[in-house]
Amino acid sequence: MTSTIGNSAETAETDSEATDLGAIRLDAVILGAGVAGLYQLHQLRTQGLQVLAIDSASDVGGTWFWNRYPGARFDSEAYIYQYLFDEDLYRGWNWSEKFPGQPEIEQWMHYIADRLDLRKDILFDTTITSAHFDEQRDRWTIRTDSGQVFDAQFFVSCAGMLSAPMDQVFEGQETFRGQLVHTSRWPATGLDVTGKRVGVVGVGATGIQVIQTIADQVDHLTVFARTPQYVLPMKSPAYGPAEQEAYKARFAELSTTLPHTFTGFEYDFVHTWADCTPERRREILEEIYADGSLKLWLAGFAEMFFDPRVSEEISEFVREKMRARLQDPRLIDILVPTEYGFGTHRVPLERGYLEVYHRDNVELVGVRANPITRIVPEGIELADGTVHELDIIVMATGFDAGTGSLTRIDIRGRDGRRLADDWGRDIRSTMGLQVHGYPNLLTTAIPLAPSAALCNMATCLQQQTEWISDVIAHVRAQGGSTIEPTAAGEQAWVDHHEETVSANLISKTSGWYLGSNVPGKPRRVLSYTGGVGTYRARCDDEAAAGYPNFLIK
Ligand SMILES: Cc1cc2nc3c(=O)[nH]c(=O)nc-3n(C[C@H](O)[C@H](O)[C@H](O)COP(=O)(O)OP(=O)(O)OC[C@H]3O[C@@H](n4cnc5c(N)ncnc54)[C@H](O)[C@@H]3O)c2cc1C
């Protein structure tokens, strides 16, 4: 087979299953062309590797390609959700506001791809269906849905933590007579909700953005709410040339500080609850609440994550704010959380969301006691037999986070072991960068590394891809053919992760942070909670010590 793909791919020459299939031989295949995949591609190409990125999407962007639903926008400040390896690249893009919407973020990703000339080494509209490690040759055989076969020494996953949609949730979805759409598969050509009866299932971060955006366009909006969320009001001031110059002038400072804060955001935990009087605590809470960002969550009082009394006081502060806006006891009952502490679930930012429920055309249906049982041709049916008739159903039902994008692929490592089986028993990894039993599979955004939204992902993904590039360079410089974490090294990381999370109140809750939105998924806090700076230091130490928890051969 002659390759027309990638910068300099060749046909495999050695005797193998891959050769028989006419596989295209590469040094590395990268899965995904989002924030991680683009930078990984740039780095490996700079090292001189023959490398190709593959994405199911028809252009770059990952999350920002797929999530086109109305109201999709950043919860990270735009000027920190950035690549920081090149000041010219940083300075070359002008954000129009503090928390821009999806169209602008997608344009920024196009800007990155254009500036780094990445598209020529990306295969779009192509899904990787299987990846098998060939132990005789120490190489991966990677197959796609269009029948191509790639033979690569390294298989680098940049598949995303939130890219496997939970879109098959209810019995009878296929019977619905109207349009049913998952938020992350919103049609690129748009979906006209004007004058329609629309149902939104889910009130997480995404549901909230959709609801507050479409409420005044639809004829009637029915919101199906199961798990209430603590919400924080967003302030997104517009940026003109002066504001743009001001954040650009901070490039050196941000490059130095962001990688080392607790969450990869510009702010950090600076207050100590125990050191403050009740009046001072209140003052601080009011001040950071008024910031209109995630500060109350990620730069308030760290004790909130560990001390149930502090958690309760801060939770009550947020509840008070929500109750004051909702007023109606029925709305308060359905929408204000009481069963878990503020910050132990993903905290959404919103703009006028709670006020939406005061509109005449908006109906709130609590589905905790009276759950959705199935989708019927007319709409959504609840356990008590009520049917809500709808023209459009928006599934804001989230993702199979962390593991779903890889377990949906047939990935087989040493001894034919399947990743879906391994993770179906126990979700494990070594620093989120490799999994024991899968040599030369290098991973970003998988469990046991810091991840959304306990991390500003641009910060974390840069660090992870840089670590991967360095380790690949190291293996090649040593003349090695494989790298794999040792069983003991992996166990040590899992133990460290568990020790860290067990002190954190997040581990006492349920929700997608623990995989409990996916039936049968083993329970584990998916994100590393020891802090982005600490995590980075441990990764750096591992490299500096010559990768003692990995076997290179
Ligand atoms: C609605 C939404 C809002 C968010 N907002 C923020 C925010 O404000 N701040 C923040 O830090 N993070 C946010 N996140 C998290 C976000 O996912 C990350 O910030 C980041 O974009 C992830 O980049 P990535 O490259 O790791 O993965 P992704 O962007 O998810 O890209 C992965 C790519 O892999 C491709 N892929 C997966 N499987 C296959 C396969 N088998 N074959 C081929 N291609 C495949 C997908 O098509 C996708 O394009 C948000 C996430 C969502 C869903």
Rounded to an integer, the average pLDDT of 276-287 is 98
- Contact between 141 and 23 (Cβ < 8 Å): yes
Read off the pTM.
0.96
Q: 199 by DSSP, 3-state: which?
A: strand
> Which of the four pLDDT bands, split at 50, 70 and 90, describes residue 454?
confident
Is a pLDDT exceeding 60 seen at residue 274?
A: yes
Ligand 1 atom closest to the CA of 205, numbered from 1: 1
Question: What's the CA-to-centroid distance between 177 and ligand 1, angstroms?
Answer: 30
In this structure, what token pair is assigned to residue 395? 């599934």
> What tens digit of pLDDT does each residue of 147-202 get?
999 999 999 999 999 999 999 999 999 999 999 999 999 999 999 999 999 999 99
Q: What's the confidence (pLDDT) of residue 19?
A: 55
Question: What's the CA-to-centroid distance between 65 and ligand 1, angstroms?
Answer: 9
Ligand 1 probe mutation, 262, 457, 512, most atoms within 8 A of CB = 457
**CA-nearest residue, atom 22 of ligand 1:** 160
Question: What's the CA-to-centroid distance between 402 and ligand 1, angstroms?
Answer: 10
**Angstrom distance (rounded) from CA 248 to CA 90:** 7
> What tens digit of pLDDT does each residue of 7-52 get?
444 554 444 554 546 899 999 999 999 999 999 999 999 999 999 9
Rounded to an integer, the average pLDDT of 67-87 is 98
Question: What's the CA-to-centroid distance between 192 and ligand 1, angstroms?
Answer: 25
Q: How far is CA 182 from CA 58, 81, 207, in A?
A: 18, 25, 10
- Contact between 90 and 84 (Cβ < 8 Å): yes
**Angstrom distance (rounded) from CA 433 to CA 497:** 14
Exposure string over 140-171, b if 16+ CB within 10 A, otherwise e: bbbbbeeebbbbbbbbbbbbbbbbbbbbebbe
Q: What's the confidence (pLDDT) of residue 452?
A: 76
| Angle at 196 (CA atoms; ends 192, 200), nearest 5 degrees | 90
**Angstrom distance (rounded) from CA 394 to CA 207:** 9
Residues with CB under 6 A from ligand 1: 31-37, 54-57, 62-63, 65, 67, 72, 74-76, 81, 127-128, 158-163, 206, 405, 409, 444-445, 452-453, 456-457, 461
How long, in residues, is the chain?
553
Ligand 1 atom closest to the CA of 409, numbered from 1: 41
Ligand 1 atom closest to the CA of 399, numbered from 1: 53
**Angstrom distance (rounded) from CA 181 to CA 169:** 12
**CA-nearest residue, atom 44 of ligand 1:** 55
Q: Please identify which residue in the block is written with the tokens 């076969």.
A: 149
**Angstrom distance (rounded) from CA 8 to CA 499:** 46
DSSP code at position 32 = -
**CA-nearest residue, atom 49 of ligand 1:** 62
Residue % of the chain over a pLDDT of 90: 95
**Angstrom distance (rounded) from CA 540 to CA 548:** 12
Ligand 1 probe mutation, 58, 63, 119, most atoms within 8 A of CB = 63
**CA-nearest residue, atom 23 of ligand 1:** 35
Give strand pairing partners of 220: 197
> Which of the four pLDDT bands, split at 50, 70 and 90, describes residue 75?
very high
| Torsion from C-alpha of 479, 485, 487, 491, nearest 10 degrees | 150
Q: What's the confidence (pLDDT) of residue 10?
A: 53
- Contact between 269 and 300 (Cβ < 8 Å): yes
Beta strands 149-157 and 441-443, pairing class: parallel
Ligand 1 probe mutation, 162, 206, 395, 409, most atoms within 8 A of CB = 162
> What tens digit of pLDDT does each residue of 97-155 get?
999 999 999 999 999 999 999 999 999 999 999 999 999 999 999 999 999 999 999 99
In this structure, what token pair is assigned to residue 30? 């990268």
Q: How far is CA 191 from CA 108, 198, 205, 428, in A?
A: 23, 11, 20, 39
Q: What's the confidence (pLDDT) of residue 107?
A: 98
**CA-nearest residue, atom 27 of ligand 1:** 160
Question: What's the CA-to-centroid distance between 282 and ligand 1, angstroms?
Answer: 36
Q: Please identify which residue in the block is written with the tokens 């329970």.
A: 523
Burial of 218 per CB tally in 10 Å (0-12, 13-18, 19+): buried
Question: What's the CA-to-centroid distance between 427 and ligand 1, angstroms?
Answer: 20
Helices (H), 374-508: 404-407, 419-425, 457-477, 487-502
Q: What's the confidence (pLDDT) of residue 21?
A: 61
In this structure, what token pair is assigned to residue 312? 């309760």
Residue type, 95: W
Question: What's the CA-to-centroid distance between 46 and ligand 1, angstroms?
Answer: 23
Q: 495 by DSSP, 3-state: which?
A: helix
Q: What's the confidence (pLDDT) of residue 15?
A: 43
- Contact between 214 and 70 (Cβ < 8 Å): yes
Beta strands 483-485 and 550-552, pairing class: antiparallel
What's the whole-number average pLDDT of the chain? 95
